[in-house]
A and B are shown apart, each in its own frame.
Chain A
């Protein structure tokens, strides 16, 4: 089973929900941190790391001696990563989307396979829970290919929990697409509602079953609940604002670890997700 945990914006408690849910399921679960620009699940789970793997994108390299400057590759590249400058063909690897088109059309075999580092993936474990973290290289602009590589670590025999990036753009879609259930985390404030509505639109386009967790549920107003009712989105859990919870977060501690009764609450959350899918 594959559950993605998403939120329309950062700072709503998405990682808190993902990590506590994963921790509460223990060895039955795998957590995959797909918030690759700012992975932070490991800050709460403190896993012992087992492996580190570099992830690369394939980009062309020009053999200038073989290149006749025919521009076939320049014309086919939708991302404008290739350009003729005077008597040479230049590649801008950071613009390349690795579609492979230029390699296909070059009549002179003048393009060699080079690579650009996208980032790395670390795997580890914490209390029997498997942890996979993607970390985008600083300066790298394209995260979806790395997110897909993180998702290649999904274990079909386990409950896989994806911590998706915040927002509603391509990286979020790459993290949510094809998951069995999207758990959306929000706050009952006007900003929370605004971003939730955008996130729900994205999830609907993808046609994914979804449910809501309301964080700091005793603050703000009723508008998020009204919206959820109108849209028929089940509210699966509410986490009240609690100073002790906020403090544990700032210290890098899990709620379920500090207060074991929360383990039951998060296990219950998982059961509710299961019954949504039944």
Chain B
């Protein structure tokens, strides 16, 4: 399956970016092959509002079924929920470590958004 991980860099050794909507990059990783699709999130980083919503739509379009990140606001969460993308919050460390933890079932999915929106 494909999962999206917010990232400070472009490869599996990069650190997880704790932000979702304004993450530097979002990596869509195939959990079987570890193939990486790098999504440049720079357009959203500078968005005044609604960055999380756009990022959520983007990863769902790329076929991700789960998102690993630090925090995910309510509007992004709502979008992900509607798209059927599960969310894991409070993820740290490298992208590779996070993917391994995910495969080993170490994470539990969030039931609610954990950060207030900015409006």
| CA of A95 to CA of B52, assembled, Å | 13
19 A-B residue contacts at CB 8 Å? A79-B49, A79-B50, A80-B47, A81-B50, A83-B56, A83-B57, A84-B57, A84-B60, A84-B61, A85-B82, A86-B83, A86-B84, A90-B78, A90-B82, A92-B50, A94-B119, A95-B50, A95-B53, A95-B119
| CA of A265 to CA of B78, assembled, Å | 57
Q: Are B54's CB and A85's CB within 8 A?
A: no
Q: Are B60's CB and A95's CB within 8 A?
A: no
Q: Are B60's CB and A85's CB within 8 A?
A: yes
Looking at A83, A84, A94, which has the most chain B CB atoms within 10 Å of its CB?
A83
Interface band, chain A: 10 to 19
**CB-nearest residue of chain B to A86:** B83
Is B7's beta carbon under 8 Å from chain A? no
| CA of A246 to CA of B11, assembled, Å | 63
Write the B71-96 contact mask toward A (1 if CB under 8 angstroms, else 0): 00001001111111100000000000
Is A239's beta carbon under 8 Å from chain B? no
**CB-nearest residue of chain B to A94:** B119
Is A88's beta carbon under 8 Å from chain B? yes
Interface band, chain B: 10 to 19
Known pairs A83-B57, A83-B79; list 19 more (Cβ under 8 Å).
A80-B49, A80-B50, A80-B53, A80-B54, A83-B54, A83-B56, A84-B57, A84-B60, A84-B61, A85-B60, A85-B80, A85-B81, A86-B82, A86-B85, A90-B53, A92-B53, A95-B49, A95-B53, A95-B119
Looking at B49, B54, B78, B80, which has the most chain A CB atoms within 10 Å of its CB?
B49
| CA of A217 to CA of B18, assembled, Å | 51
Q: Please, which residues of chain B bring their CB within 8 A of the CB of A94? A: 119
| CA of A95 to CA of B75, assembled, Å | 11
Of the candidates B47, B60, B75, B119, which one forms a contact with A86 in the assembled complex, judged by CB atoms under 8 Å apart? Answer: B60
Is A141's beta carbon under 8 Å from chain B? yes
